[in-house]
Amino acid sequence: MSHVHIIGAGLAGLSSAIRLTQDGHRVILHEAGPAAGGRCRSYFDKALGRRIDNGNHLLLSGNHAAMGYLETIGARDLLAGPRVAIFPFMDVNSGECWTVAPGAGRVPWWVLRRNTRVPGTTLLEYTQLLSLHAASANATVAQALDRCSALYRRLLEPLAVAALNTPPDAALARLFGAVVRETLMKGGRACMPLYPKVGLSETFIDPAMAWLGARGARLHTGRRVTALSLAEGRVVAFDTTEGPIQVATGEAVVLAVSAPVAQDLLPRQMVPDAFEAIVNVHFLIDAQPAGDVGVAGFLGLIGGTAEWIFIKPGIVSITISAANRLVDRTADDLAAAIWPEVRMALGLQGPMPKRRVVKERRATIAATAAQEARRPPARTPIVNLVLAGDWTATGLPGTIEGAVRSGHTAAEALRPVLSDMPR
């Protein structure tokens, strides 16, 4: 049985570990952090006195690789969400509320019916979704879509910012097109919003570790890989904070770290070098909104600073994407800007509750044309080393779906290499 060393136990590392284990290989994960999960993790926050997620994560049912990953590890039931696809929105300036309800079918019939279309939109406006696919290679979302249309302002812009984590005047239209093709264009059945029932680690990470552990995989946490040793076009060893590790003939390495770490370990490899932040503000308060917001468990806001409000037992968490413009503001300043919007949107009373502001400065790569050109394939010139991560050339923005697919691609890229090697 060939050993495969996986450096980095985020979703990309875990999904490659699962695929390689299914292929019959023995996997060893080397993770720098105190636990697996990377950017998709939960932890105990001392100030709030409870576990929180580093940031709200939303999946859509059309994210088929992510859904397959959860099926494999037996965690599909650890997702929550409304029974039908609904996306409630509020304009914080006018107070106007609307719900986008793509229904439950396989075909986007909802755009044909006036009462299920986004309020204030015409059928003609939906044809701009087709222009995402016809857009030139470097066209931005703002160039490809009609920025004056109600559909853009009320649905497409908030979705594009959330999915691409990049301002629409810089975000690549074809990346948004890839997301839309697999979700909105496939009808409500592919647009069911899903989020963890308890926490990110409980849904995406702990069951994966249990699945892998039961099949002989090993995870070493607190083990940072500091250098790779190459000889004759192969990785022959790597240094870690716990000492060197030899990579025997017949063994291979999946480098599933973030882009900046990959750059440090492989200085000749071109990788993305521009990032966008995501800010999350967690307010310790129990909110039980009525109507569609209560059913969905979240609310999209437009026209203010806050973008998405997620309502969980005892906590209300706000997400702001494409947030490079905000990260240098203080936590107090951000919370003070956001709280009045949250209070108004959810009809809450009283002073600002206890809160925690989490700024993920390098939440994802910027989904721009310049960064797209820097995303490498899984295969490298080093015969027994492949790359995985949401920043590799997945054809998707930096998302759970992209990270999971990158892990599969990396495992598949190793197949010929591992089959050539003695087991």
Contacting residues toward ligand FAD, per CB under 6 A = 7-13, 30-33, 38-40, 54-55, 57-58, 224-225, 256-258, 261, 278, 280, 360, 363-364, 389-390, 398-401, 403
Residue type, 178: A
3-state secondary structure of 127: helix
CB of 134 to ligand FAD, least distance (A): 26
Q: Show the tokens assigned to 405.
A: 């697919």
Inter-residue contact 237 to 247 (CB < 8 Å): yes
Of 399, 414, 417, which Cα lies nearest the Cα of 69?
Answer: 399
CB of 28 to ligand FAD, least distance (A): 12
Q: Are strands 234-240 and 275-283 parallel, antiparallel or unpaired?
A: unpaired
Distant-in-sequence, close-in-space partners of 286: CB < 8 Å, separation ≥ 6: 313, 314
CB of 83 to ligand FAD, least distance (A): 20
Residue type, 383: V
CB of 377 to ligand FAD, least distance (A): 15
Q: Which is closer to ligand FAD, CB of 98 or CB of 298?
A: 298
CB of 119 to ligand FAD, least distance (A): 25
Inter-residue contact 79 to 195 (CB < 8 Å): yes
Q: Which is closer to ligand FAD, CB of 96 or CB of 239?
A: 239
CB of 43 to ligand FAD, least distance (A): 12
Q: Which is closer to ligand FAD, CB of 10 or CB of 376?
A: 10
Q: Which is closer to ligand FAD, CB of 64 or CB of 224?
A: 224
Residue type, 208: A
Distant-in-sequence, close-in-space partners of 96: CB < 8 Å, separation ≥ 6: 90
Q: Which is closer to ligand FAD, CB of 125 or CB of 401?
A: 401
Q: Are strands 26-30 and 3-7 parallel, antiparallel or unpaired?
A: parallel
Of 217, 335, 242, 238, which Cα lies nearest the Cα of 280?
Answer: 335
CB of 278 to ligand FAD, least distance (A): 4
Distance CA 244, CA 237 (A): 7
Planar angle of CA 330, 336, 340, nearest 5 degrees: 155
Distance CA 261, CA 258 (A): 5
Beta-bridge partner residues of 125: none
Q: Which is closer to ligand FAD, CB of 173 or CB of 357?
A: 357
CB of 127 to ligand FAD, least distance (A): 27
Q: Which is closer to ligand FAD, CB of 38 or CB of 300?
A: 38
Instruction: Dihedral sign for Cα 36, 76, 395, 140, please.
Output: negative
Distance CA 125, CA 147 (A): 11
CA 74 to chain CA centroid, Å, is 20
Q: Which is closer to ligand FAD, CB of 35 or CB of 150?
A: 35
3-state secondary structure of 368: coil
Q: Which is closer to ligand FAD, CB of 342 or CB of 363?
A: 363
The region, left, alpha or beta by phi > 0 then psi within -120 to 50, assigned to residue 129 is: alpha
Q: Which is closer to ligand FAD, CB of 95 or CB of 267?
A: 267
Residue type, 273: D
CB of 123 to ligand FAD, least distance (A): 30
Segment holding 207, helix H or strand E = helix 206-214
CB of 67 to ligand FAD, least distance (A): 12
CB of 330 to ligand FAD, least distance (A): 19
Q: Which is closer to ligand FAD, CB of 59 or CB of 139?
A: 59
Beta-bridge partner residues of 275: 365
